[in-house]
Amino acid sequence: MLVRTSDLTALASTLRHHRDLGVTEITLSGEYLQGPEDTLARQQRELQGCRRCKLCEGRSTIVFGSGNPRAELVVIGEGPGADEDALGEPFVGRSGKLLDRMLAAAGLAGRAFVTNTVYWRPPGNRTPAPAEQMICAPFVERTIQLVAPRLLLLVGGASAKAMLKRDEGILSLRGRWFEWRSEDGGLEIPALPTLHPAFLLRQPAAKKRAWSDLLTLAERLDRADRPA
């Protein structure tokens, strides 16, 4: 049987994912060479009953991710709120609608997969704690590996700090390009922090800065599509 390099890469990523879930023995079959659509769906099912942190105690459902599973862009927010917890999808409340409008206006509609640094709603819609983000980090990394985007958009200070392992505030980080690296250093993707839409709803004057960030990101994506 002829096996492509991309299939072997997918298999290795799947095996690492199962190791992180605590699985010590599996039977290999064709399902482990599936595309990102099926593999992401399986990861979501496997995480549904996760009890690795106390966020599971108040959740209604997992808020895993949504969008194009073969996207050029992965958008990573901080954590789900009440609306997201009720519907099981990220960015569906007022701030999510604003993000959708901004992505569409920048020509990025349909070109993104959206997720968060944690998959369950923190109590009272508080910011996820670093310890909670660390527990979800291997699975967020797995999602990035499966989607294989060209760029990351890190939405909000808690997302940017966790993904980039930096201490600066979002007003310092936003609009600057960084390199996100996988834990083993085998994958590097350019990442752009920006302001969270919930902040923009409270501070409308800051929208032009977030808009500038999205235009910068869209231009970089489109530049890669142009012939040399």
Question: 64-109, pLDDT tens digit by residue?
Answer: 999 999 999 999 999 998 899 889 899 999 999 999 999 999 999 9
pLDDT at 5 over 70: no
Check if the beta carbon of residue 3 is closer than 8 Å to that of residue 32.
Answer: no
- Tallying the residues shown for the chain, one arrives at 228
- Other beta carbons within 10 Å of 208: 10
- Which residues, at least 6 apart from 71, have a Cβ–Cβ distance to it below 8 Å? 111, 112, 113, 147, 149
Q: Find the mean pLDDT for residues 26-48.
A: 74
Domain boundaries, the chain: 5-225
- Tokens 């990351």, residue? 152
- Computed over every residue of the chain, the mean pLDDT equals 87
Q: Which tokens belong to 105?
A: 């206006």
pLDDT score, position 36: 83
Share of residues in the chain with pLDDT > 70 (%):
83
Check if the beta carbon of residue 159 is closer than 8 Å to that of residue 130.
Answer: no
Distance CA 67, CA 52 (A): 26
- Which residues, at least 6 apart from 119, have a Cβ–Cβ distance to it below 8 Å? 47, 50, 62, 63, 64, 80, 136, 139
Distance CA 192, CA 217 (A): 7
pLDDT at 6 over 60: no
Three-state SS string over the chain comes to: CCCCHHHHHHHHHHHHHHHHCCCCCCCCCHHHHCCHHHHHHHHHHHHCCCCCCHHHHHCCCCCCCEECCCCCEEEEECCCCHHHHHHCCCCCCHHHHHHHHHHHHCCCCCCEEEEECCCCCCHHHCCCCHHHHHHHHHHHHHHHHHHCCCEEEEECHHHHHHHHCCCCCHHHHCCCCEEEECCCCCCEEEEEEECCHHHHHHCHHHHHHHHHHHHHHHHHHHHHHCCC
pTM: 0.82
161-213 tens-digit pLDDT? 999 999 999 999 999 999 999 999 999 999 999 999 999 999 999 999 999 99
Among the ranges given (43-57, 68-82, 132-146, 166-180), the one the predictor scored with the smallest mean pLDDT: 43-57
The CATH homologous superfamily for domain 5-225 is Uracil-DNA glycosylase-like domain (3.40.470.10)
